[in-house]
Structure 1
Amino acid sequence: MTLIAFEDEAWRNLAAIAQARPLFELRCGGYTVRERAAAIAGSEALGLARAHLMAHFGPPGGLTAMYTGEPVVVVNGRTLDLAWLPRLLAEPLNTLYLADGDLLGARLTPALASAVLYYLRDQQAIDAREELIRFARVVELSGADLPVRALYPWDLIAQSGEQIVRDLPLFSARLLKYDATDPQVVIRGSQVFVGPKARLDGPLVLDSRDGPIVIEDGAHIEPFSFIQGPTYIGAGTLIASARIRGETSIGPVCRIGGEVEASIVQGYSNK
């Protein structure tokens, strides 16, 4: 299987934060869409982005590298909630998922994929959808199955806390609940997940009563920090005696001080 995250026409609505990275590389919750798709599918996710981004975010060889002769699964890079993806992966080949008319994802034979990847390379998801409707089985998601999609930059902020909760099955599959053996680390609630190589120096408080707290391997929480869930702290990040309030996602290799609330730090950044 070849798993591909793509951008659609709505990238223009998110251009303020997506000029230097594709939509599927924007962080919300504990993952980017590409990372989330790869974690669910258990395989690498390739990226199909605007021309000036492909050299950095696409595979070596570009579009040609995506023609592997294997079935192709495409995932819309604006779709934050991928609860539908396991179901798509189990569908027969040439199945198309739509949501409010948007091309959400599809599982395709190599032949049919070759007919639509050129459209998706140019962010022409509407044309790709029309081509697929002619040849593929169509499943329209609605009601409770309708996934959350980002249409504007503020949608990422609004959904960050809920997305951390939705990502919890992925976290709990690879991280153990924190066993507070250090009396200087005060745990409130029962939703604290910490990587085995993370470093927590008390005194500090981890309050997960309002949502989960996830601290990845290599993160360092310095003394006198307060962290409130839902919060995600990426690998290699330093929390410098800070107050991290709920609905906050902090990517890898950041240095965070002061007070942060309802914010997304993409990664490799300081505050």
Structure 2
Amino acid sequence: MAFNLFDDKSWLTLRPLTFTRPVADLRLGILTIAEKWSHHLQTDFGFQTQDYLQRKFGLKDTTLFINGSICPDEELLEAVAALSDGQVLHAADIVIAYKAKGISDYHEAFINLKRVAYLSGFVKVDYPEQVFGYNDVELKKDFALLTKNRTSAKLSNTNTVLGENIFVEEGAVAECSTFNTLQGPVYLGRNSQVWEGCHIRGSFALCHDSQVKMGAKIYGKTTIGPFSRVGGEINNAVIWGYSSKGHEGYLGNAVMGQWCNIGADSNNSNLKNNYAEVRLWDYEKESFRKTGLQFCGLIMADHAKCAINTMFNTGTVVGVSANVFGAGFPRNFIPDFAWGGAHGFDIYALNKMLETAALVYERRDMVLDETEKAIIAHVFELTEQYRHF
């Protein structure tokens, strides 16, 4: 039976990453949250999400609904599978899943259905920094899921592999590079490439059709999503796909959305000079929120870009379609559709942004269709209040 993944209130607290997607479309580990559930349940999925996203992320005709902010594990899967019609699985006030007809949302499910308590722990993503925070544990779980009872393809003998915890999909190639799997697994997706002279530590995932450029240094807890290209120095970062950080520069304790580009020699700080707790902009609070973290770098939403030599301060949030350039440190919250840098910002006009996005898609032999344009236009309207330049 197919299932739907619903957004709970975490969709609000995960902005700007969720302005352009349901929560379950977040990549965490190797797979998106939706793909994790689908692999385990061996069936198709849909989304119950915001109205303006629903056209792209369709809803399935089914009675099983699962919280899209929660990652599956074996015990949780058993509890969901055991649900009968008319039951809701919950942990305190968190709705994990429910099975019923005629229920409009998870609030109604919690009130009207028979409650089944779940007492064990689980991974739930509520804030952007948790994407890189949970990436190591989820990457290891996904690695075990995707490689179970399978045989890895062979790597060239020009490479050095420490340990044996590496899996290479068909079509993946690497030359003259080192892979250290002693601290975590290394996964190379189909048709991925690791160019000469790279040094990579697990846990690490390079998803399909992506490339690591020559001489890159990549530390553990890092995921490079599909159709991306990276270089330089990367540590505990998650890049979702169709994005580029192709040159020297540091990216650490960071999340980078789709269709993003980071210019050459750009860097983000992930530790304050006084070692103090990092705060991040919170769209729900409309103020900065304490993260409880000492290490927290860059959160960059879809379609955002920065020019060469850009410097991001510790705990910087860059909104959807922001375009950052110029000398100096820009402020720690760069609103969606902002155009500028430390010298000041203007509004990145919607028609200009769409022209650029169409060219970016065209380079990938894709078309920026009317559905995508409508989502971007809606986000432009939603975020108008933050652009007080």
Q: Deviations over 1:202-252 (max 9, x none)?
A: 210111110111111111111111111111111000111222210011110
Relative to structure 1, the CA distance from residue 251 to residue 174 in structure 2 (aligned partners, 3 Å threshold; closer, same or farther) is: farther
Q: Deviations over 1:89-123 (max 9, x none)?
A: 541522432123201113x2xxx322x2x22xxxx
Shift of 1:179: 4.4
Aligned-residue identity in percent: 21
Q: Indicate the residue corresponding to 1:63 in structure 2.
A: none
Shift of 1:152: 0.9
- Provide the TM-score with structure 1 as the length reference: 0.84
- Whether contact under 8 Å (2:36, 2:72) holds in the other structure is no
- For 1:74 and 1:96, the matched residues in 2 are separated by 9
Matches within 5 A, 1:190-209: 190-200=164-174, 202-209=175-182
Q: Indicate the residue corresponding to 2:68 in structure 1.
A: 77
Q: Indicate the residue corresponding to 2:270 in structure 1.
A: none
Matched AA of 2:190: D
Matched AA of 2:30: G
Structure with more of its chain in helix, by fraction: 1
- Whether contact under 8 Å (1:175, 1:193) holds in the other structure is no
- For 1:113 and 1:193, the matched residues in 2 are separated by 42
Matched AA of 1:131: N
Shift of 1:85: 4.5
Q: SS where residue 57 of structure 1 aligns?
A: coil
Matched AA of 2:185: P
Which of 118, 121, 126 is 1:141 aligned to? Answer: 118
Q: Indicate the residue corresponding to 1:122 in structure 2.
A: none
Q: Indicate the residue corresponding to 1:102 in structure 2.
A: 94
Relative to structure 1, the CA distance from residue 83 to residue 100 in structure 2 (aligned partners, 3 Å threshold; closer, same or farther) is: farther
Which of 208, 214, 225 is 1:251 aligned to? Answer: 225
- For 1:236 and 1:141, the matched residues in 2 are separated by 39
- For 1:218 and 1:67, the matched residues in 2 are separated by 35
Q: Indicate the residue corresponding to 1:62 in structure 2.
A: none
- Whether contact under 8 Å (1:176, 1:195) holds in the other structure is no
Q: How many aligned positions are there?
A: 243
- For 2:6 and 2:151, the matched residues in 1 are separated by 32
1:221 and 2:210 aligned: no
Q: Indicate the residue corresponding to 1:2 in structure 2.
A: 2
Q: Deviations over 1:168-210 (max 9, x none)?
A: 3212137534545x3311111121011022112x210111110
Shift of 1:23: 0.5
Matched AA of 1:139: V
- Provide the TM-score with structure 2 as the length reference: 0.59
- Whether contact under 8 Å (2:80, 2:89) holds in the other structure is no
Give structure 2 stretches of 5+ with no counterpart. Answer: 246-389
Shift of 1:266: 0.8
Shift of 1:87: 0.6
- For 2:72 and 2:234, the matched residues in 1 are separated by 24
- For 1:183 and 1:92, the matched residues in 2 are separated by 50
1:87 and 2:78 aligned: yes
Q: Indicate the residue corresponding to 2:205 in structure 1.
A: 232
Matches within 5 A, 1:164-175: 164-173=139-148, 175=150
Q: Indicate the residue corresponding to 1:211 in structure 2.
A: 184
- Whether contact under 8 Å (2:88, 2:109) holds in the other structure is no
- For 2:11 and 2:131, the matched residues in 1 are separated by 13
Relative to structure 1, the CA distance from residue 11 to residue 22 in structure 2 (aligned partners, 3 Å threshold; closer, same or farther) is: same
Relative to structure 1, the CA distance from residue 183 to residue 240 in structure 2 (aligned partners, 3 Å threshold; closer, same or farther) is: same
Q: SS where residue 224 of structure 1 aligns?
A: coil
Higher relative contact order (CA 8 A, sep 6+): 1
Matched AA of 1:158: G
Give structure 1 stretches of 5+ with no counterpart. Answer: 60-65, 120-124
- For 2:7 and 2:78, the matched residues in 1 are separated by 21
- Whether contact under 8 Å (1:80, 1:149) holds in the other structure is yes
Q: CA RMSD in A?
A: 1.8
